[in-house]
């Protein structure tokens, strides 16, 4: 059996055992036997091994503690925020590497310096007030400061430590956030100015539109009156040229009057307060179709109308939108021997999609973006009458109800015009 090398070796252990036996003899007053000596020696050997094992465990525990300490030291030093311990007078007692980097100085040079020395003058009073509250109230306090010569914005939060003689504060670099907030504020202010300018321009434009439209009424009335007088004077006279001229003047006057009405409607739609109430769209379509049919005698028109929703909206404006869409469908399907017009409806997740489809002349989709603009027309007045304002009115009405408008077509194969209403406006179907 291999001899165990322990504390002092086997010979030393033997000596210690013999010494213990002598002491035992003296204490007990009896002679020690060889067997007792061996037993005591065994006990001492076991005790020595126990001590060695305990020593190994202590060494291992020490290494683990040192490793854990180093890990937490790294977490402390390389944390994304600064940690600082301040004395009651504001002196720096401890600081992690992140805090030192924020303050722009090596850690050992920061110790014992007053933290306030690194702050911009305008923020000294803010920080001193913060520090007083930390030590007085014993709770969490916070403030925002700017570092001297660095233009860094810091958020500071602190609380007094046990004993009340020092406190722990955290430093968070909020420079990017502050600059982003300042930029957002600047953009919002600029946006508000532009919105105000736009609203003022719209008000001026609508006022001008309204004024001009009214001012045009008087000369148009004069033109119509003189045309009527000339027609009476030339009645019975075989002057074909004069009659043709009068018809042209009368037609132009009527078109101008219609244009004025449309401009006034456009102005009115933009300024009118919405009078929302329960509206049955099927009722509106029936009224519109009835009005159109009275003006389309002699034409064969097949109407197909889906079950449309009941909505909360402005009845008069929604009726105007439906009238403009359906009258356009009737007008542009005029070349067809039999016009086919369908008023459809489809429920989507967040909105109801309504449509007016015809089998008319259609249009080229590359011009679709012009359809809903003011005075935008894809056909000449010789082909189809109109002022180019009707679809602009439709878009404005639907916009004011929170919906969207668009169109789809193939030239020569009809067109479909769509508008949506938010699902929350719908209260069911008929």
Question: What are the DSSP calls for 139-180, one per residue?
Answer: S-EEEEEEBTTT--EEEEEEEEPTTSSEEEEEEEE-HHHHHH
pLDDT at 7 > cutoff 60: no
Same domain for 150 and 222? no
In a domain? residue 258:
no
pLDDT at 385: 65
> Are residues 309 and 281 in contact, defined by beta-carbon separation less than 8 angstroms?
yes
Same domain for 327 and 231? no
pLDDT at 382 > cutoff 70: no
Compute the distance between CA of residue 47 and CA of residue 342 in angstroms, rounded to an integer.
104
Mean pLDDT of 224-248: 75
Same domain for 20 and 67? yes
Question: pLDDT of 39-83, one tens digit each?
Answer: 777 777 877 887 888 888 888 888 877 777 777 777 778 888 999
| Domains contained in the chain, number | 4
pLDDT at 429 > cutoff 60: no
pLDDT at 6: 46
Buried b (16+ CB within 10 A) or exposed e, 96-132: bbbbbebbeeebeebeeeebbebbbeebeebbeebbe
In a domain? residue 403:
yes
Last residue of a domain, one of 150, 173, 196: 173
In a domain? residue 227:
yes
Domain that holds residue 54: 9-76
Picking from 77-81, 282-286, 366-370, which range would have the lowest pLDDT averaged per residue?
366-370
Mean pLDDT of 334-341: 87
pLDDT band at 1 (very low <50, low <70, confident <90, very high): very low
Residue percentage of the chain with pLDDT more than 70? 83
Mean pLDDT of 161-170: 88
Of 98 and 274, the structure prediction assigns the larger pLDDT to: 98
pLDDT at 30 > cutoff 90: no
DSSP 114: B
pLDDT at 150 > cutoff 50: yes
In a domain? residue 259:
no
Last residue of a domain, one of 33, 56, 76: 76
pLDDT at 316 > cutoff 80: yes
Picking from 27-36, 263-272, 390-399, which range would have the lowest pLDDT averaged per residue?
27-36
pLDDT at 430: 53
Report the chain's mean pLDDT, rounded to a whole number. 82
In a domain? residue 424:
yes
Same domain for 422 and 284? yes
Same domain for 95 and 207? no
Same domain for 281 and 218? no
Of 18 and 173, the structure prediction assigns the larger pLDDT to: 173
pLDDT at 3: 43
Same domain for 279 and 401? yes
In a domain? residue 260:
no
Instruction: Give Cβ neighbours of residue 227 (< 8 Å, ≥ 6 apart).
Output: 246, 249, 250, 253
Same domain for 241 and 322? no
In a domain? residue 116:
yes
Q: Which CATH number goes with the domain that contains 131?
A: 3.30.450.20
Mean pLDDT of 94-115: 92
Mean pLDDT of 143-170: 90
Same domain for 290 and 235? no
Same domain for 338 and 398? yes
Q: Which of 269, 288, 266 is nearest to 354 (CA)?
A: 288
Mean pLDDT of 310-332: 89
Same domain for 228 and 153? no
Same domain for 352 and 216? no
Which residue do the tokens 């508008």 mark?
419
Last residue of a domain, one of 30, 46, 76: 76
In a domain? residue 21:
yes
């Amino acid at each position: 059996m291999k001899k165990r090398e322990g504390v002092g070796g086997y010979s030393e252990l033997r000596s210690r055992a013999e010494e213990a036996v002598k002491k035992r003899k003296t204490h007990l007053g009896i002679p020690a036997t060889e067997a007792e000596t061996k037993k005591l020696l065994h006990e001492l050997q076991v005790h020595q091994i126990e001590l060695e094992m305990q020593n190994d465990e202590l060494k291992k525990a020490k290494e683990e503690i040192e490793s854990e300490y180093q890990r937490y030291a790294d977490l402390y030093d390389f944390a994304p925020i600064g940690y600082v311990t301040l004395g009651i007078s504001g002196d720096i007692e401890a600081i992690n590497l992140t805090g030192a980097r924020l303050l722009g100085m090596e850690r050992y040079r920061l110790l014992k310096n007053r933290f306030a020395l690194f702050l911009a003058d305008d923020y000294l009073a803010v920080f001193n007030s913060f520090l007083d509250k930390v030590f007085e109230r014993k709770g969490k306090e916070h403030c925002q400061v700017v570092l001297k010569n660095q233009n860094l914005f810091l958020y500071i939060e602190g609380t007094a430590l046990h004993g009340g003689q020092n406190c722990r504060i955290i430093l968070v670099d909020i420079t990017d956030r502050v600059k982003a907030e300042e930029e957002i504020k600047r953009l919002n202010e600029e946006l508000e100015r532009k919105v105000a300018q736009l609203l003022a321009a719209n008000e001026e434009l609508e006022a001008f539109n309204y004024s001009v439209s009214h001012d045009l009424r008087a000369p148009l009335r004069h033109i119509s009156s003189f045309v009527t007088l000339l027609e009476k004077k030339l009645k019975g006279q075989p002057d074909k040229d004069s009659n043709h001229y009068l018809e042209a003047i009368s037609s132009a006057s009527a078109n101008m009057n219609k244009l004025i009405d449309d401009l006034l409607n456009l102005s009115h739609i933009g300024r009118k307060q919405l009078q929302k109430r329960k509206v049955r769209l099927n009722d509106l379509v029936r009224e519109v179709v009835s009005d159109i049919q009275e003006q389309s005698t002699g034409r064969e028109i097949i109407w197909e109308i889906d079950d449309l929703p009941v909505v909360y909206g402005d009845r008069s404006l929604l009726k105007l939108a439906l009238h403009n869409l359906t009258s356009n469908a009737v007008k542009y399907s005029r070349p067809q021997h039999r016009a086919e017009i369908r008023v459809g409806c489809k429920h989507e997740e967040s909105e109801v999609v309504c449509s007016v489809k015809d089998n008319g002349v259609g249009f080229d989709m590359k011009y679709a973006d012009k359809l809903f603009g003011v005075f935008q027309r894809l056909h000449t007045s010789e082909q189809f009458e109109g002022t180019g304002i009707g679809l602009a009115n439709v878009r404005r009405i639907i916009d004011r109800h929170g919906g969207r408008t668009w169109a789809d077509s193939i030239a020569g194969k009809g067109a479909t015009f769509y508008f949506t209403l938010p699902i929350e406006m719908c209260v069911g179907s008929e």
